[in-house]
Structure 1
Amino acid sequence: MSQRWAILAVIMLAQTVANIGPLGIPAIASLIRDDLELTLTQAGSFLSVYYLGPVAMSFFAGMLADRWGTAKTLVLGQALIAGGLLAASAAGSYGVLLALLGLAGVGYGTLNPASTTAAMSWFPPRQRATVVGLKQVGLPFGGMLGAALMPALALRLGWRWAIAAGALMIVVCAVLSASVYRDPPAEAPLRRAAGERGAVAAVLRSRDLWLVASATLVFAAMQTVWMAFLALYLQGVVGLALLAASRYLALAQAGGVLGRVAFGVLSDRTFGGRRRAPLVIAGCGSALCSLAIAFTGPAAGAWLLTPLALVFGFFGIGWNGVQHTLMAEIAGPRSAGTAVGLGLAISSLGVTLGPPVFGACVTAAGGYRGPWIGLSLVMLVGLGLLALVRERPRF
């Protein structure tokens, strides 16, 4: 019993530290923009390019975790993220910076499916959404730490040293993961089954897996638009300074920490293992927040922005662990990593497309209000796809 919780702690630490550097970059985007003389759309594109890695790698990384084992895949993912970020800290141009962030993203596309299957393989079905939600806390918690720490580091030492510091923390965590984490004994037979002909084909033929993945593409696009543009919007429209704007980004990530735990518990306990209802609740809440921010402006004070950032984080970031759990349970234990990888690959496409499309809409409209409203309406597509998913109670 104590071993599984120690394993979960290592997984959570790996997931958290891996996100500090990449998700802290939007908080210092204005400094990078000034140094490299970038446009608004370019400054909002860093996360999009970073998430090209998961688009390209997540499905294959899920297969790798199913066949090769999660322990090795966890360490490989962290090593790739650290190497990409360390090289990106020395980039001298926008193109080189994007290429290296893409390499770091390949590492995250390797880490994320492996960490999900690692968490699920150590716990029984009644705790899965809660445990995966706890694991996925690493993304918003790491983002919160990144938004809080990286602007201070960047203002003192420069944005390059801030990114390098994030990379070095991942190196330390990768060494710890290699030393502590072990795959559960029961995983070996499942890895052999995952290598059998037809296991991957069954995942690709699953109607419900494709529906969930496509629906959460919309969720992921909305989440990343907020993460990429919240600080830029607060500085450019509301008139806040860099550190003040980055605090609201950190608040949104803090709301995401709470949401990922709450939605996991809600799914496991309140809804008896059903996963679709919490996702619908999250989609509705995040759409309402996007509609609300459309009507903020220079007069918006902390009394409005603080709850708005927290509530969006809760709904707009909190859904992720439930999605991972639903994908893995639809596929079954022998193909869980492959299924989660497919979901991450498709949803990461939304992460990649969302910010540049939103940035282009802001430029074309000459302001943020219309694009924020449009973002809220796009969620209707995701909710419609979820309505078509066939789900059975898990226990």
Structure 2
Amino acid sequence: MSAGGFTFRTRRYRWVVLGVATFTQAASGFFVQGIGAMGVHLQRDLNLSTAQLGLLLSAAQLVPLVGFLVAGELLDRYNERWIVGTGACVVAVSLGVGSMAPGYTSLLLVLLIVGAGYSTVQPGGSKSVASWFDASQRGLAMGIRQAGLPLGGVLAAAALPFLATAFGWRVTLMAGGLVALLGAVAFMCLYRRPPTQSPAPHGAEPHASPASGLGARLRTLREPPMVKIVLSGMSLVSVHSGIGVLTVLYLHETTSVEAGTAALVLVATQGAGVAGRVCLAAWSDRSRSGRYGSVVTCMVAVTMGMTALTTPMGHSPAAACLLFVWLGFFGIGWYGPWVAYVAESAPPGKTGFALGLAMAVNQIAVILVPPVLGLLKDLTDSFVPAWSLLSMMTVVALTVTARGERHHRRDPFRHRTTA
């Protein structure tokens, strides 16, 4: 690969980069994505309430609230090969140590450290793919790469409950650590920057501007593209979290589906999310409504699905299973076009920070929503308030962004410099 441009060989290598970024994403999120499928086992073995189970899911998401911002800054200055690889190693080592944790509290601490390592993988992999693909294929590439998270969830939902039943929850942590280690090694061995990105002194990002203060960068949250990114992202990531923590419990308690069968439905739901991330992102490459139009479609679709769960239809095992597959396609699949929209809305040389900032804001919902949903379920002994809360959040975000879009169309030149 020469520095002179994208030769045939380098165009082929971008698919290697896409493959390894997707694999590392799946491997790093493998264990955390499987916690929902292990809900019945963890509640039984550790004597947990639904709220405690939700807090366990949130623990791995707490550190990325700040970690994404730090990772974004590092990614704009240094080679993502080492930033992502080191983070995946932290995930692997933490889970290995966690397999010796004495109980629930220690497991919470382990997952906090896992979250610190994972903070680099999500924005780092996204920036890696964005730098190798141009706009004509970036949506498809981002969709494939972002499919790594639900793909890891599919594999985890299939494997971890089996391992937990046969060998106990400690073995599941060790398995998660080994998988994360494979992802770290693969990324550090195979990832290279595109030849048009010549390394700056000491590995710094050529276009990064460290002089711009954090306060100035955070003010981008008020810009119209970022407002849409934040509101849609927080509502849809809340839906994704709800799917992860409630699917198995809902099917088991409301429709009397066996725990093993309910875990398989979660596998199918995650599989639908994999397909959604690829298909919806590829559609956003060609759609006249653009990237954000695909995100809006997802917001409408998940509202319909969750509303249906609160009706008698949601008590039918067959109908409920189909509804969760629907929610998986749109409620997990939204992330592909959304992250491509974030990357394309970023100022030059600030892609890493923009991705980190958007993902950090999403973390607020990722942290708060699972325990809140679990607490609602414990207090009301019903899933209806949980689904209703998620529906309301999505409708509010959809309404606010739709009004903002109409205002922007009436005054299209007002924010030209921010697009």
Taking the aligned partners of 1:322 and 1:333, their CA distance within structure 2 comes to: 20
The 3 A distance-change label for structure 1 pair 157 and 197 is same
Map of 2:381 onto structure 1: 366
Q: Tell me whether 131-140 or 235-244 shows the greater mean CA deviation.
A: 235-244
- Distance in 1 (CA, whole Å) between partners of 2:36 and 2:196 is 41
Matching residue's letter, 2:65: V
Map of 1:353 onto structure 2: 368
Match of 2:347 in 1: 332
Q: Is 1:255–2:272 an aligned residue pair? A: yes
The residue number in structure 1 matching 2:3 is none
Distance 1:358 1:249 in 2: 18
**Is 2:71 the counterpart of 1:45?**
no
Distance change (3 Å), C-alpha of 1:139 and 1:317? same
1:34 Cα deviation (Å)?
A: 1.8
Query: Of 236, 257, 261, which residue of structure 2 is paired with 1:240?
Result: 257
Report the Cα distance in structure 2 between the residues aligned to 1:133 and 1:160, rounded to whole angstroms.
33
Backbone CA RMSD of aligned residues: 2.2
Residue of structure 1 equivalent to 2:106: 96
Distance of 1:5 and 1:298 partners within structure 2: 41
Query: Which of 203, 207, 211 does residue 193 from structure 1 map onto?
Result: 207
Question: How far apart are the structure 2 equivalents of 1:165 and 1:338?
Answer: 32
User: 2:150 aligned with 1:140, yes or no?
Assistant: yes
Compute the displacement of 1:299 (Å): 5.3
Q: How many residues align?
A: 392
Q: Could you say if the C-alpha distance between residues 307 and 250 of structure 1 is closer, same or farther in structure 2, counting changes exceeding 3 Å? A: same
Shift of 1:329: 1.5
Normalised by the length of structure 1, the TM-score is 0.93
Show CA shifts across 1:195-242 (max 9, x none). 441275554222232441233111111110111111112222222222
**Partner of residue 190, structure 2:** 180
Taking the aligned partners of 1:146 and 1:275, their CA distance within structure 2 comes to: 29
Tell me what 2:93 maps to.
83
Structure-to-structure mapping, 1:209-248, within 5 angstroms: 209-248=226-265
Letter in 1 for 2:232: A
Report if the CA contact (8 A) 2:25-2:183 is conserved: no
The alpha-carbon deviation at position 314 of structure 1 amounts to: 0.7
Which has the larger Rg? 2
Q: Match for 1:315 among 312, 330, 342?
A: 330
Matched, 1:17 2:13: no
AA of the residue aligned to 1:191:
E
Q: Equivalent residue for 2:116?
A: 106
Q: Indicate the residue corresponding to 2:311 in structure 1.
A: 295
Structure 1: gaps of 5 or more residues: none
- Map of 1:379 onto structure 2: 394
Secondary structure of 2:240's counterpart equals helix
**TM-score normalised by length of structure 2:** 0.88
CA distance in 2, matches of 1:203, 1:78: 27
Work out whether residues 282 and 319 of structure 1, in 8 Å CA contact, stay in contact via their aligned partners in 2: yes
8 Å Cα contact 1:237-1:297 kept in structure 2: no
Which amino acid letter does the alignment assign opposite residue 248 of structure 2?
A
Report the CA distance between 1:297 and its aligned residue. 7.9
Contact 2:243 2:328 in 1 (8 A): no
Checking the alignment, whether the CA contact within 8 Å between 2:54 and 2:373 is kept in structure 1 is no
Q: Distance between the aligned counterparts of 2:328 and 2:70, measured in 1?
A: 29
Give the drift of 1:27.
0.9
Q: Deviations over 1:351-379 (max 9, x none)?
A: 11111111122222221123212321221
Confirm or deny: 8 A CA contact 1:24 1:143 kept in the other structure: yes
Instruction: Check conservation: 1:239, 1:298, Cα contact below 8 A.
Output: no
Equivalent residues in 2 for 1:267-306 (5 A)? 267-271=284-288, 274-295=290-311, 300-302=316-318, 304-306=319-321
Query: What is the CA–CA distance in structure 2 between the aligned matches of 1:348 and 1:377, rounded to whole Å?
Result: 19
